[in-house]
Amino acid sequence: MGPVMPIAHFDTDILIVGGGAAGTMAALECADAGVRVIQATKGRATSGTTTVARGGFAAAMGKGDSPEAHLADILKHGGELIDAELARTWVYEIIDVVRDLEAWGADFIRGPDGELDLKAFPGHSQPRACHHYDTTGNMLTKVLSRKLHADARIEKHSLASVVDLIKRDGRVVGAWGVDYRHGHLIAYSAQQVILATGGGSGLFYVNDNPPQVTGDGYVLGFRAGVDLLGIEMIDFQAMCCSPVELFGFAPHPTGFINAGAVFRNRAGEEFLKRYFPGTAEQSTRSEVILAMAQEIHAGRAGSTGGIFMDATQVPIEIIQKQIPHVYKTCLHRGIDIAKTPLEVAPGSHTWLGGLEIDTDGRTPVEGLFAAGETAGGIHGGNRIGGSALAASMVFGRRAGRKAAEIAKSARVVPPQLGDSAIPELERAWLADVLRRSDGPYQGDVRMRCRMLAHEKLGPIREAGTLRDALREYERIEREDAQTMRLASEAGAGAKVRGEELESVLSVRNLALLGRIVASAALARTESRGAHYRLDYPVADDATWRRVTRARYGGDGRIEMLSDPIKEIVPRAA
């Protein structure tokens, strides 16, 4: 059969999938190396989850601090399961990244002495968070966006969703997807592909990520043969469930805590003192989230299912200094946090696992790299604050540098991909979707995937609900994902049709991702990090001081394996 939609073909040395900090750093490296590079982004680069890093990111740049001290804190408080060499790589290289960012115009706050004003974050033995008050991510997004858009060497494809990778003879040679601005299909031929699509927070109903972040990179790499490491480990953050004007807003709890806020249950008890008498609000983020989840599960939540983050006893001038953006955002929506506690519950913030990589971002599949939140092993069963954005920038840069180096030296000539680059079954399925007038609406199936994760894959887990989730995701893949229809508005024009197709294709990714997470969570029969099993309430180091490894089996099966933690190798003097 002929194509159901026109197919545009592109040829490049490096294809970067993703528009956040990792993808943009990779693109800049490729351009500097003199190779052809295309950056394909669902939104408009620079975008992604960079903006949600409000409070800053960690770099050992203070007097008396060192990358080795930073690494020691990560390994001590990171819920283990970390590849120490990956962690060591970024704690050293983030220092150079900070210097480059400042050269590009980043406005990190400095004190009267001209030194960086480094914030203290829980889990860190030294103040080491570079920041621009509580708008760090927004500031960096603007800096990277300006630099990216000023660089004519980088071919930018915005509003383009990559659906799957193309392999030939065991190596990745390109990708295909949907250009949903113009409503046609796209096929890329490339020497190397870098996946930097962010995490999978879109799987959860409550999250603070842009709606396009749906775990695409995990699924693309997984289907291509790359194992997913520690994918059950998710970094939950406190997000608003009331007042209704703020639903889903992530109010930067670390900033609240630094300002002096306390967490209370429905009875008004400052419950963190009961869980962690020595540290209370100064406990690590995962400890705070887990205590919140246990209070909610025990029936001590407020009327909309959360607990209360209370800054009403904090002087207004401290609030305005520590969290000015949050204060103004809430005030703009009619809520004065100096007078009204916020009701918050755990929502998906960042993901800690991901595709297997080495220190240059290479996956075990030739021709394929991963960086940023898409990559695994960098973080463990927990993540101390300030780690995600720092690691994303470092590994985005490293992936871009190594991919360009390989492209220049090896000069693999990718095959010329005709229309057959998009599999016949996929084109037939797309044709059917475009014609279909019955079946479940794709938006409803998407919401079912998200509510399922919200209800059964959160911080509190048990075998029964995990098996329920697994069965339902399998059913969605088998039934609903095969019979979904587009909204009636899809017939209005190419752009709307493209947007609906992008969404219907991402639903398939969400369903598979939900099945993978449920499988990995079910396999880990213990509690660790911010993940509490009601049926296995303690950490079991004898059995589970290991990293889960999800592998793509034949016929869509998921094989669950595990590896011992890689022990740290002392650094040569």
Q: Which CATH fold topology does 422-544 show? A: Methane Monooxygenase Hydroxylase; Chain G, domain 1 (1.20.58)
- Give the pair of three-digit tokens for residue 534: 């009601």
> Measured in whole angstroms, how far is the alpha carbon of residue 117 from the centre of its chain?
27
The CATH 1.20.58.100 portion of the chain extends over 422-544
The model's pLDDT over 492-509, given as tens digits with 9 standing for 90+, comes to: 677 777 778 878 888 999
Contact (Cβ atoms closer than 8 angstroms) between residue 425 and residue 496: no
What mean pLDDT do residues 309-315 have?
A: 94
3-state secondary structure 247-291: CCCCCCHHHHHHHCCEEECCCCCCCHHHHCCCCHHHCCHHHHHHH
For Cα atoms 70, 72, 77, give the angle at the middle one, nearest 5 degrees. 100
- Residue 213 and residue 62: Cα distance in Å, rounded? 34
- Residue 457 and residue 304: Cα distance in Å, rounded? 19
The predicted structure's pLDDT at residue 52: 62
Whether 428 has a pLDDT exceeding 70, the answer reads yes
- Residue 12 and residue 193: Cα distance in Å, rounded? 10
What mean pLDDT do residues 521-531 have?
A: 92
The predicted structure's pLDDT at residue 313: 95
Contact (Cβ atoms closer than 8 angstroms) between residue 314 and residue 259: yes
Q: In what order do the strands lie in the sheet with 307-310?
A: 234-242, 342-351, 307-310, 262-264
For residues 50 and 348, the model is more confident at 348
Distances (CA, A) of 195 to 178, 256, 278, 434: 16, 34, 42, 28
Whether 1 has a pLDDT exceeding 60, the answer reads no
The predicted structure's pLDDT at residue 153: 96
Whether 189 has a pLDDT exceeding 90, the answer reads yes
Whether 463 has a pLDDT exceeding 90, the answer reads yes
- Residue 402 and residue 29: Cα distance in Å, rounded? 9
Element (H, E) at 157: strand 154-157
Q: How many CA atoms lie within 13 A of 47 on its CB side?
A: 20
Number of H helices, E strands in the chain: 17, 19
The CATH 3.90.700.10 portion of the chain extends over 241-346
What mean pLDDT do residues 209-218 have?
A: 90
Whether 4 has a pLDDT exceeding 80, the answer reads no
The predicted structure's pLDDT at residue 304: 86
What mean pLDDT do residues 533-543 have?
A: 94
Distances (CA, A) of 76 to 84, 125, 383, 471, 563: 11, 11, 10, 36, 20
What mean pLDDT do residues 175-204 have?
A: 92
Beta strands in 196-231 (DSSP E): 228-229
> Measured in whole angstroms, how far is the alpha carbon of residue 305 from the centre of its chain?
25
3-state SS, residue 351: strand
Confidence of residue 2 (pLDDT cuts 50, 70, 90): very low
Element (H, E) at 160: strand 160-168
The predicted structure's pLDDT at residue 413: 64
- Its CATH architecture, for the domain 241-346, is Alpha-Beta Complex (3.90)
| Among 74, 47, 79, CA closest to 58 | 74
> Following CA atoms 143, 133, 233, 224 in sequence, which dihedral angle do they give, to the nearest 10 degrees?
0
- Residue 460 and residue 217: Cα distance in Å, rounded? 26
| Start-to-end Cα distance in the chain | 64
- As a residue count, the chain comes to 573
The rounded mean pLDDT for the chain is 90
The predicted structure's pLDDT at residue 285: 77
> What phi and psi, each to the nearest 5 degrees, are found at residue 507?
-60, -40
